[in-house]
């Protein structure tokens, strides 16, 4: 089983959005039984909380489900040994994760938008929509969808 964990700051907006989108894309591609997907936050502010209501609205409007039972959690460095990919949503979280990553596992920590063929080298972050309006959550959903398409292709190659 190939294991992926998406990571943002609090695990209530971006990373659960990526988790839900990726699960749907894996189902559509026939890979759902070969890939386990989870999410977490680098911080502990929202541990135990559900998906932000604005993120849930954007997901529902996009036709996604499976986010009602989400419970935010903080990333545990012990998980590195069990994960194939740890996907950060922005550079701040990428840096936080790399500080925790064992040296021999640094290649498994990547930015989500590095899998997005439309993202330029200076445009690899999924911005945090938490302090904005619903439009930011819709924009994040679009970025996540494009990047997850590329990530599915990458995982397909890894699985052979």
Supply the residues annotated as catalytic.
Answer: 8, 14, 128
Compute the C-alpha angle 39/56/8, nearest 5°: 30
Q: Which residues pair with 110 in a beta bridge?
A: 87
DSSP string, 44-89: -TTTT----HHHHHHHHHTT----TT----B--GGGGGG-SEEEES
* Segments in the chain forming alpha helices (H): 14-29, 53-61, 91-100, 134-159
């Amino acid at each position: 089983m190939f294991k992926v964990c998406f990571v943002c700051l609090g695990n209530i907006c971006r990373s659960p959005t990526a988790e839900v989108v990726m699960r749907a894309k894996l189902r559509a591609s026939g890979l759902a039984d070969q890939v386990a997907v989870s999410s977490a936050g680098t911080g502990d502010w929202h541990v135990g909380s559900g998906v932000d209501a604005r993120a849930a609205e954007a997901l529902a409007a996009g036709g996604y489900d499976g986010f009602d039972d989400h419970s935010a959690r903080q990333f545990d460095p012990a998980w590195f040994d069990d994960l194939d990919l740890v996907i950060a949503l922005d550079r701040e979280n990428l840096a936080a994760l790399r500080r925790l990553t064992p040296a021999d596992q640094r290649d498994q920590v990547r930015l989500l938008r590095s899998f997005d063929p439309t993202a330029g080298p200076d445009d690899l972050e999924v911005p945090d929509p938490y302090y904005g309006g619903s439009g930011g959550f819709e924009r994040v959903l679009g970025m996540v969808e494009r990047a997850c398409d590329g990530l599915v292709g990458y995982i397909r190659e890894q699985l052979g």
